[in-house]
Structure 1
């Protein structure tokens, strides 16, 4: 029987691992972080305008653009006023103008006296303008010809809206006729239903004040929906476009801007032109 001998393998010596240097690891980490920081700063600098814009740090640019738009608007306002020498000029205001110092409200562009003002009284079937009473009294004390308007909400009961306006507004001799402000289309009802509602408001208000109301709306709304069916009423039309330089021949009033500045009123205010002079304006007031 052959004897089997097992050879022992000679043990191989492993080279001892070098200990990683603490400082070399730190340097590597800091280097990577430094590269990312430089990369981030580089990208940030390259796109600095975009970042600043979206973060709001370029408000000066926005202010400049707003100021430029206002300047252009002022130029147009002046040209329109120049084109209507002799016509009566007036405002329309609401609580959105805040508290008005009526003692300072005299002219626009320091050259055109303000003869009249329309004041928002009510909106819908439940909203009385928060500044109506103060504005109504302030305009009277200022001896401006005043008128009150109602902002009509198409999806609310027209007779309830008329009742609210009648309850809120007491017209006196020398005041302008009441105004119905219609700007929006109804939701969930037809145009015919809208027109029926408008007629009901107009009839109820006319029966109470014994004077035919005026209708306020935008020019497109007027052309598309009201001009034909409400031709028996006089209109106050809003149009701020640059192509429009003269009041329409069939318009009673023209609201030609919403970006005018008037002493005594903070922020922008609407300005209107009456299609006649101050004497003719008094002729259409309540007797």
Structure 2
């Protein structure tokens, strides 16, 4: 960030507050019950995603391109939950509403990075399903672990650069008005709206970021399923269509629980009460990482079989001892 600011001119000075105040959940009734719920969601997210990662890592049969992407999704969900929920509980449950300037920028960077990576990881999974159904005979040559890892690495690099630019633009702003952020985390849009100097570049990047990390990925995923639907329509047997479509159900479920709440919040957010928007946004941020591993365990036969084998081995070892 210092290099970014130096490029703007060495004689430029910025008014940076020592801290921001997060007021997202302050004053809402029965919030202690909600904090208990958030803690429960976080524990389930950690246990579920860790279990999925462990199963994929330990079972050599699951080291395929599809499960490379599933492993990364579980990792992103784990990181996103760990970056957001403990900090939110610390701030609002223990009344630590003041967050330092640098901590706020760091909080923003990690939250936006992991939330954005969730969407792009779903693109990687849709690519895998598209190739598997449209080119079943050439799938193993078209989609390899190396290609999937390269795609995921590209997405990570893209997201990190995009979010770093957004955070870098915030560091050139002066804050001589309010330092109160009306959210439960350091929200990019709410921060630059507090600035008292020109924040047009931040407005521009706040327009392009949702397009690049939300709407564009969603468009790619929907397009891939249109192609999948067209391919399956040419399959003669209904049983074969259902069998092929069943391999997509877990991915479709995860896509739905990630994108639908976000789209609804973006669509009706300005029309609903600010408190309702804050609660809805917090739920849309913490619930998908909890549900994703449950969906993949329940709807993916390979993971279920691997977990059953692991449990049976564990039982047999206990009985031997």
**Structure of higher RCO (CA pairs closer than 8 Å, 6+ residues apart):** 2
TM-score of the pair, normalised by structure 2: 0.23
Larger proportion of strand: 1
Larger proportion of helix: 2
TM-score of the pair, normalised by structure 1: 0.25
